[in-house]
Amino acid sequence: MNSFARLSAVVFITLLVGACNTSADGFDLANYEAEVMSWRDGRRDRLMAPTGYLTQAGLFWLDKPVTTFGSSEDNDVLFTEKAASRIGEFRLTAEGVLMAVEPGVDVRFDDVGVQTILIADDTTDNPDMITHGPLAWTVIKRDNRYAVRLRDFEHPVLETFPALEYFPIDPEWRVEATFNRYDEPRTVAVDTVIEGLGWNPESPGVVVFEKDGEEFELEGYSSGEELFFVFGDRSNGRETYPAGRFLYAAIPEEGDQIVLDFNRSYSPPCAFNDFSTCPVAAPRNRLPIPIAAGELFNRDAYIASH
């Protein structure tokens, strides 16, 4: 075979492979699978990041006017042994949580030592993170209650956490849906994994999609330019996390067509630690079918890694 013939054969095979990976409507399967795999890699990186879910080491609700904290047993809130025996106090005020640090204890904000600071909580535009050696903490606000979330940037789980597992990528679970907006956004009530603690997001509407000839509906929650879904399905408690999974979808700039890519659905943070306040799937967002796409939940592997 001469060089021209060989070149022609290579071009023909390349075009043939490309055609096999491209559907009649122009959908590029190979490119799509590469995008999902890249998203999966990013998902693990986000979990392992300093502010990811795997560094969380404690969640302490502040139920008294003054709460002492440190590593010694005589504190109201017990940090890990990496902390000073008595770091200081958290004081509840009308403005939020004021932290007062014991003299001589190195506690920092923006890498500058502090003695007292009103800690901006996670409902503000710029929440504050306080550091103390390899430990860090923030203040969260839920239902007008405050809690301190502790992180350990040297958490041993960062060395032992297993690879995340997923269903095989299936483009059939990249679903075209219709976004039906409410006349006015609604505030809805959603339960969380913490008994007695609710979540009240704003919902701009519902999405409706078909699967195998049946019609299903999910209520979305506002999240910037995206819709956030907390959904359950018949895979929960078997292959996936029992309380449901999370999914985001871009709000259409025009029209009402939206894509629900269940291959990018994932477990909430409470699948990996006991220090999160995850919402659970509301009854109306529990689908009566199994969704065999997205992130799996390996309870034994995750427990073994802690």
pLDDT digits over 53-74, tens only?
999 999 999 999 999 999 999 9
The vertex-99 CA angle with 95 and 100, nearest 5°, equals 130
Say if residue 23's pLDDT is above 80: no
- Regarding the domain delimited by 54-152, which CATH topology (the fold level of the hierarchy) does it fall under? Tumour Suppressor Smad4 (2.60.200)
Mean confidence (pLDDT) of the chain: 91
Of 216, 217, 215, 220, the residue nearest 190 (C-alpha) = 220
Mean pLDDT, residues 170-188? 96
302 pLDDT tier (thresholds 50, 70, 90): low
pTM of the model: 0.85
- Residue 126, both tokens: 């710029």
User: What's residue 106's pLDDT?
Assistant: 98
User: CA quadruple 111, 161, 270, 166: dihedral positive or negative?
Assistant: positive
List the chain domain ranges.
29-49+162-305, 54-152
Say which amino acid occupies 149: R
Provide the pLDDT confidence category of residue 17 given band limits of 50, 70 and 90.
Answer: very low
